[in-house]
Amino acid sequence: MTSISGSTVLVTGGQRGLGKAFVDAALELGAAKVYATARKPRPSADPRVVPLALEVTDPSSVAALADQARDVSIVINNAGATLRKPLINTPIDDLRDLFETNLFGVLRVTQALAPTLATNGGGILINIHSAMSWIAGAGPYGVTKAALWSATNSLRIDLAAQGTLVVGVHLGYTETDMTADLDVVKNDPLELARDVLVAAENGQTEVLSDDVSRHFKAALSGPIEGLEFTIVDGNVVTKHPPTGAVTAEARARR
């Protein structure tokens, strides 16, 4: 089993939002080095953090990343984009651009770094999905995350022979720039990142990070209408019975 302590970690989109939280959490848990990627990386005051340029939609950029990160044993595919509009009104070109980042970008990075993980003992691959992978009405973003969930489950099988643990992470709204304009209950990103890394270190293959994710994962076995949602008083709730604020416990804890 791969330990966070002493490891070399790579986080895509690692200089802001949830990605930065993963960088900080990895260091808290004893990582020796963390590659933090961004389109235009900024220097870090922490010598353990190595900023690297990465555009996940550019094959040459991904290849350059793989060449520089030959010591990595934990890869966190966090970089992503969003698009909030109804799927029926989304131009196909816009949807294709979103897939380039949220699905194909993850696959490019994974294909490029899988040989490195194998060389370094197998390691861990963590893909950040979303509860929106399962929620009806999540629009273009949800479609791309549903595709990523499927891809992750296939990668888990593909990479098992080389000893790579593949972890899929689902989460509801989390306090990042992407959700700054939403008046909803949000996860603490550092707490979430820490929990994900500990779960991965313990060999867990899927992490349901909050009540929203757990609720909708369970709803997959029920009527499809149970996957529809709305927001009531800042809580994600189902639109069809059984109703109830699925993040009520999370709100109470805060």
Is the pLDDT at 246 greater than 70? The verdict is no
The pLDDT confidence band at residue 232, using thresholds 50, 70 and 90, is very low
Is the pLDDT at 175 greater than 70? The verdict is no
What is the token pair recorded at 180? 């700054």
The pLDDT confidence band at residue 243, using thresholds 50, 70 and 90, is very low
- SS3 call for 243: coil
CB neighbours of 38 closer than 8 A, spacing ≥ 6? Answer: 13, 14, 15, 16, 51, 53, 54
Query: How do the domains of the chain map onto residue ranges?
Result: 8-210
- Confidence (pLDDT) at 225: 81
- Indicate the burial class of 13 (C-beta count within 10 angstroms; 0-12, 13-18, 19 or more): buried
The pLDDT of 211-217, averaged and rounded, is 88
- Confidence (pLDDT) at 230: 58
- Confidence (pLDDT) at 185: 58
Is the pLDDT at 210 greater than 70? The verdict is yes
What is the token pair recorded at 153? 């489950």
Contact, 188 vs 251, CB < 8 A?
no
- Confidence (pLDDT) at 158: 98
pLDDT tens, position by position, 133-173: 998 888 999 999 999 999 999 999 999 999 999 999 999 87
- Confidence (pLDDT) at 15: 94
The pLDDT of 117-141, averaged and rounded, is 93
pTM: 0.88
The pLDDT confidence band at residue 254, using thresholds 50, 70 and 90, is very low
CATH topology of domain 8-210: Rossmann fold (3.40.50)
